[in-house]
Amino acid sequence: MEKEEFLEELNRNPIFEAVSSAAEDLGIQAYVVGGFVRDLILCRAGKDIDFVCVGSGIELAIATASKLGKHISVNTFKNFGTAQFVYDGYEYEFVGARRESYRSDSRKPIVEDGTLEEDQNRRDFTINAMALSLNKKDYGRLLDPFQGLEDIKRRLIRTPLDPETTFSDDPLRMMRAVRFASQLNFDIETETFEGLKAMAPRISIISQERITDELNKIILSPKPSYGFKLLYQVGLLEIIFPELVNLLGVETMDGKGHKDNFYHTLQVLDNTAVRSNDLWLRWAAILHDIAKPATKRFSPKVGWTFHGHEELGGRWVKGIFRKYKLPLDEKMRKVTTLVRLHLRPIALAKEGVSDSAVRRLLVEAGEYIEDLMILCRADITSKDANRVRRYLKNFDKVEELLKEIEEKDKLRNFQPVITGEMIMEVFGLGPSKEVGQIKTEVREAILDCRIENNMESAYPYLLEVGKKMGFVPVKDLQA
């Protein structure tokens, strides 16, 4: 981009002129830096804009807010010398130029005031080390000491200083290198790549929350498999996500092998990414076969089997979410449901579709049924194009039947009309295994369409089941 193009973009938002004017009043130099400049060149939209000044970032933020002429609440963080406010849908952060140094055993830097050049030196990558001047004398001039613009043209991720120094200072930058490569579809420059491999073990001093935040951004990139392959190649993945690396490899016995479940999982993740931007659906794609190593068995007759991997994987989800500091809420329950049920629609597509099986699937999947079908379509990774077409055609039939039965029976929020409390009241029972057995019998009869889900049909069936189990009614709820 030429200076005129930068000026045109800066003139679109009044914040830049306000910062320039405020900096002049304060007698300091100010610049817009980092991701905004990078994304401006890449024609990407962003809502976070960072300013650096050679002076007090807090004073500049307050003065800028005043220039904008509106009641803006400025959040200040004196311990860090930063300030932040939101204006017109954008989030602006102000900081004084800094230089940082690190002890080898700590991820917390020693921070001192510095020059713009020193501030650019401490940046993670050349594409993030560019700045645009907001000073009157050279307003809109690009300051690019490490040829970040050229690296954007070459589509390269490269550290401004020696890679091992950059990654040692803040090891999370290793995750960020992979994340930017994955988001932008850039290559990692050779020396930077070698630095990643050399410094990978240092990632262990970074908090799980920060690692997971970067991992989620990789998962949300357009083709997340690229990021995961890079993580594996540089040795980070086996440190931060060993469960996934356990899927790697093919074992052969008696001439019979199985597919490489690591690369299959990455293909399923990419297939899912094409269909959905939902982070948790993508997590389900990552975890759908996670228990295959634990369930792998060899049979001379049929070869390799992974019986029950979906149920075991579903049980593992909570522990994985806890370990990786992911939310233990409805998002976790969604991933658990999708992992546990991911073979169900595939089985229906193989065996032919029955109303009863579809009803059960609707009840168990509930609100996640559409996501489940996306995952199942993504899970078809055969190299046999005819086989893929056949499966997808069968999935079309399953989905048609799902819609028909859902419209007719409204099963997503299915609740049997006979509750456990009713069963205890009718037979004078306390909470027990027998109550659960009776409830299950009634539920199965409803799902099999042997009785309707109303009191007129279900109550007599309840009495019949109780009688078979040796229970005598003590109260008539229909009296």
Same domain, residue pair 219 and 260: no
Same domain, residue pair 256 and 401: yes
Same domain, residue pair 313 and 442: no
Instruction: Give whole-number Cα distances, 29 to 57, 93, 139, 150, in Å.
Output: 11, 16, 11, 26
- CATH number for position 129: 3.30.460.10
pLDDT (tens, 9 = 90+) of the chain, 479 residues, equals 666 778 888 888 899 999 999 999 999 999 999 999 999 999 887 788 999 999 999 999 999 999 998 789 999 998 888 999 999 889 999 999 886 655 555 555 555 667 888 888 888 999 999 999 999 999 999 999 999 999 999 999 999 999 998 998 899 999 999 999 999 999 999 999 999 999 999 999 999 999 999 999 999 999 999 999 999 999 999 999 999 999 999 888 877 778 899 999 999 999 999 999 999 999 999 999 999 999 999 888 888 889 999 999 999 999 999 999 999 999 999 999 999 999 988 877 766 667 777 778 888 888 898 999 999 999 988 777 887 888 788 888 888 877 777 766 666 666 778 888 988 988 898 999 988 899 888 888 887 778 888 888 888 888 888 888 988 888 887 76
Same domain, residue pair 447 and 320: no
Domain boundary among 172, 206, 240: 240
Question: Is residue 476 situated within a structural domain?
Answer: no
Q: Which residues contact 453 (CB under 8 A, 6 or more apart)?
A: 414, 416, 417, 446
The pTM score is 0.85
Same domain, residue pair 273 and 385: yes
Question: Is residue 33 situated within a structural domain?
Answer: yes
Question: Is residue 474 situated within a structural domain?
Answer: no
CA-CA distance, 44 to 182, in Å (whole number)? 15
Question: Is residue 415 situated within a structural domain?
Answer: no
- CATH number for position 281: 1.10.3210
Same domain, residue pair 356 and 213: no
Same domain, residue pair 295 and 181: no
Q: Which residues contact 236 (CB under 8 A, 6 or more apart)?
A: 174, 175, 178, 196, 200, 203
Amino acid at 111: V
Q: Residue 54 sits in which domain range? A: 3-154
Collapsed DSSP state (helix, strand, coil) of residue 290: coil
CB environment 372-390: b (16+ within 10 A), e (fewer): bbbbbbbbbeeeeeeeeee
Question: Is residue 315 situated within a structural domain?
Answer: yes
Same domain, residue pair 236 and 364: no
Same domain, residue pair 217 and 290: no
- CATH number for position 230: 1.10.110.30
Q: Which residues contact 380 (CB under 8 A, 6 or more apart)?
A: 388, 391, 392
CA-CA distance, 21 to 1, in Å (whole number)? 24
Give me Rg for the CA atoms of the chain. Answer: 30
Is 105:63 a contact under the CB 8 Å cutoff? Answer: no
Same domain, residue pair 260 and 339: yes
Domain boundary among 101, 128, 154: 154
Count of alpha carbons within 13 angstroms of residue 171, beta-carbon side: 23
How many domains, the chain?
4
Same domain, residue pair 287 and 403: yes
Question: Is residue 473 situated within a structural domain?
Answer: no
